[in-house]
Amino acid sequence: MVWLPEWAAKSYVKLYYRFRDRPFDFAGAQELLGYGKAKTARTLQEIENSGLLHRGRLSTDLRRRTYRLISLEQFALAFALSQESQGLGEKLSAASQDFQYVITGAAAAYKYHGYMTPAKTDILIYKEDFGFWIALLKEKQVQIAVDDALAEKRGTVIHLHTNLTEETFARAAKIDGIYYTSVEDLVLDFFRHPTDTSLLDALAIMVTCAEDLDWDLLAKSDVTQELGFAMEVLNKEAGKEVFSKKLIEKFAEREVVHKRFSLSTELLKMPNTYRVLARNWELEVNVPPRIFQKATSDLVS
């Protein structure tokens, strides 16, 4: 983070007066500034390098580049914190005193299970704090994605999601000065929106954090069928009782909510034992067996 040279500061002020923190494109900036393409690109790059601009591409159209400006107030707050902290962990810990956020997704899961290294760090923030976080976290080797605006280049990726709620923050766990999604919320989210990776993360949490999980809370959720099925499959794959019958019975007491538990649009080949267990939970299951097999072989001793 650096202060702008005078010529770039004048352009920043002009752009901010028009766009504030709303997204705009290159053509809009060029028209407002009255520069040629080269000078417009140089100006936007200078503002971005200072930490006062975020650039990304829309996930719906990778050809479209978007820009959003950071207010001077949020820049100043981030600048002050960055002088006292280095690296993501220190910055998040320092920001915890005045700002609310929650690390979620694979990065939060790794904090709990220590099993799979995450490919990126997902952070829930309030929409109004967007500028502060961009200015604080932006570094030379760090690429920042925001909602559906993807990171531009490869490198260390931080994905900001501007949909943090007070309820989610209230349930968050503070570990080593940093806020993480609660372990129960992670499991539920992974089962509600399953992918190969997120389901493996959920299973890893269930196995490694079994003594710390609030199973009663999970048993009152809307994915009790999926959770019950998963526990029985892990028991089968492990050849022993990883999860007790008494615990699994809690999940069978809930009414049927879902009919299908699937990770693929293609019909996968499922072992007969999986199909039998799925019928017991009144589920049509289409999940790669290798996910459960990997979880048991790697994590169940």
Structure token digits, residue 66: 């978007």
185-210: per-residue pLDDT in tens?
Answer: 999 999 999 999 999 999 999 999 99
The SS3 call for residue 64 is strand
Instruction: Compute the C-alpha angle 227/233/235, nearest 5°.
Output: 105
Confidence class of residue 153 from pLDDT cuts 50, 70 and 90? low
Residues 6+ apart with CB under 8 A from 235: 241, 242, 243
Higher pLDDT, 141 or 134: 134
Provide φ and ψ at 46, rounded to 5°: -65, -40
Dihedral through CA 177, CA 151, CA 118, CA 136, nearest 10?
-10
256 or 216: which leads in pLDDT = 216
pTM of the complete model: 0.87
**C-alpha triplet 224, 227, 230: angle, nearest 5°:** 150
Query: Does residue 152 surpass a pLDDT of 70?
Result: no
Q: What confidence score (pLDDT) does residue 59 get?
A: 64
Interatomic CA distance for residues 292 and 294, integer angstroms: 5
Residue 93 exposure: Cα atoms within 13 Å on the Cβ side: 10
Tens of pLDDT, residues 81-124: 888 888 899 999 999 999 999 999 999 999 999 999 999 999 99
Bridge partners, residue 161, by sequence: 124
Q: What is the pLDDT of residue 216?
A: 96
pLDDT of residue 101: 98
Q: For residues 111 and 129, give the distance between their C-alpha atoms in angstroms, rounded to a whole number.
A: 24
CA nearest neighbour of 33 among 22, 53, 19, 50:
19
More reliable by pLDDT, 57 or 218: 218
Residue with tokens 């009255």: 34
- Domains and their CATH numbers in the chain: 6-69 (1.10.10.10), 84-181 (no CATH), 184-299 (no CATH)
The pLDDT score that the predictor gives to residue 106 is: 97
pLDDT confidence bin for 1, thresholds 50/70/90: low
Q: What percent of the chain has pLDDT over 70?
A: 97
User: How confident is the model over 8-60, as pLDDT tens digits?
Assistant: 999 999 999 999 988 899 999 999 999 999 999 999 999 988 889 988 877 66
Q: How far apart are CA 148 and CA 166, in angstroms?
A: 22
Give the pairing of strands 101-104 and 121-125: antiparallel
